[in-house]
Structure 1
Amino acid sequence: MTSTASDRPQRVRDRRPAPERLKQIITEATTLIAERGFWGISIQDVADACGISDAGVLHHVGTKEGLLVAVLEHRDEVDIALLSQMLGIAESELKADGTLSVSLRDFCRALVARNAQQPEIVRLYSVLNAESLDPQHPAYAYFSAREVWATALFAAAAAGTANPARIARQVFAAMDGLQLRWLRNPAIDLVAEWDALAESIVRPYEMH
Structure 2
Amino acid sequence: MVIGEAPPSRRGPRGPYAKSEQTRKSIIDSALSVFAESGYRSGSLRTVADRVGMSEAGLLHHFPSKSALLAAVLEHRDDLTQEQFDFGSGDGRHWLRSLIDLAKYNASTPGVVELFCTLSAEATSPEHPAHQYFAERYDYTRKMARTAFEDLQSRGELRPGVDPASAAKATIALMDGLQIQWLIDRNSVDMAAEVRTYLESLVTGDI
TM-score band w.r.t. shorter chain:
0.7 to 0.9
Match of 1:63 in 2: 65
Code of the aligned partner of 2:196: A
- Which residue is 2:109 aligned to? 118
The root-mean-square deviation of aligned C-alpha atoms, in Å, is 2.3
Q: Distance in 2 between matches of 1:79 and 1:147?
A: 15
User: Conserved in 1, the CA contact under 8 Å of 2:175 and 2:195?
Assistant: no
Aligned amino acid, residue 100 of structure 2: R
1:158-177 maps to which residues of 2 (within 5 A)? 158-159=149-150, 160=153, 161=158, 162-177=162-177
Is the 1:112–1:190 contact (alpha carbons within 8 Å) kept by the matching residues of 2? no
The CA deviation at 1:52 is 0.8
**Deviation digits for residues 163-195 of structure 1, max 9, x if unmatched?**
21110111111111111111222335635xx32
What's the TM-score, normalizing by structure 1?
A: 0.76
Per the TM alignment, residue 54 of structure 1 is displaced from its structure 2 partner at its CA by 0.8
1:104 touches 1:202 (CA, 8 Å); kept in 2? Answer: no
Whose radius of gyration is greater, 1 or 2?
1
* Partner Cα distance (2:104, 2:119) in 1: 21
Aligned residue number for residue 87 of structure 1:
none
Selected match of 1:108 from 92, 99, 102: 99
Aligned to 1:203: 200
CA distance in 2, matches of 1:107, 1:156: 14
How far off is 1:157 after superposition?
2.0
Corresponding position of 1:186: 186
Match of 1:82 in 2: 84
User: Structure 2: how far apart are the matches of 1:81 and 1:188?
Assistant: 29
Partner of 1:131: 122
Q: Is the 8 A contact 1:28 1:50 kept in 2?
A: yes
Separation in 1, partners of 2:62, 2:195: 43
Q: CA offset at residue 197 of structure 1?
A: 5.2
2:138 to 140, 147, 154: 147
Determine the C-alpha separation between the residues in 2 that align with 1:196 and 1:53.
45
Question: Which of 33, 36, 43 is the equivalent residue of 1:34?
Answer: 36
Distance 2:201 2:186 in 1: 29
Pairwise CA distance, 1:30: 1.0
Give the aligned residue type for 2:203. E
TM-score, reference length from structure 2: 0.77
Mapped partners of 1:105, 1:22: distance in 2: 34
**What is the SS of the residue equivalent to 1:187?**
coil
User: Quick check: 52-61 or 114-123, which moved more?
Assistant: 114-123
Superposition map of 1:86-101 within 5 A: 93=88, 99-101=90-92
| Distance of 2:100 and 2:56 partners within structure 1 | 41
Q: CA deviation at 1:196?
A: 4.3
